[in-house]
């Protein structure tokens, strides 16, 4: 069980990648949330690495940002590198 206030390293990386892609497209969180059919506060929590999103939510975000899931999940560090 994660500690209160603890952000999982993988969720942090994914959230930063989602935020970067959204920014590249000039989209607001609200615009991305609308396009993906998600709540804006949910998108904010995902971008901050505070929420362990479902695969379905990830696919919705990727479709809204016109990218593939693999684009956001490639080259993740090995577990031992993030558990440190």
The secondary structure of residue 8, as a DSSP letter, is: -
pLDDT at residue number 79: 72
Q: In a 10 Å sphere around its CB, with 0-12 CB exposed, 13-18 middle and 19+ buried, how is residue 12 labelled?
A: middle
Q: What is the pTM of this model?
A: 0.86
pLDDT at residue number 81: 67
pLDDT at residue number 4: 52
Q: By the 8 A CB rule, do 14 and 42 touch?
A: no
* CA distance linking residue 29 with residue 72, whole number of Å: 17
- Mean pLDDT per 10-residue interval, the chain, length 84 residues: 67 97 98 98 97 97 97 86 63
Q: By the 8 A CB rule, do 73 and 55 touch?
A: no
Query: Residue 27, Cβ neighbours under 10 Å: how many?
Result: 16
- Domain spanning 9-71, CATH architecture: Orthogonal Bundle (1.10)
């Amino acid at each position: 069980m994660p500690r209160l206030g603890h952000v999982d390293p993988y969720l942090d990386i994914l959230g930063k990648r989602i935020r970067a892609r959204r920014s590249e497209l000039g989209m607001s969180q609200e615009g991305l949330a609308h396009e993906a059919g998600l709540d804006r506060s949910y998108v904010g929590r995902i971008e901050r690495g505070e929420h362990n999103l479902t695969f379905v939510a990830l696919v919705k975000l990727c479709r809204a940002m016109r990218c593939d899931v693999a684009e956001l999940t490639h080259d993740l560090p090995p577990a031992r590198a993030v558990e440190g």
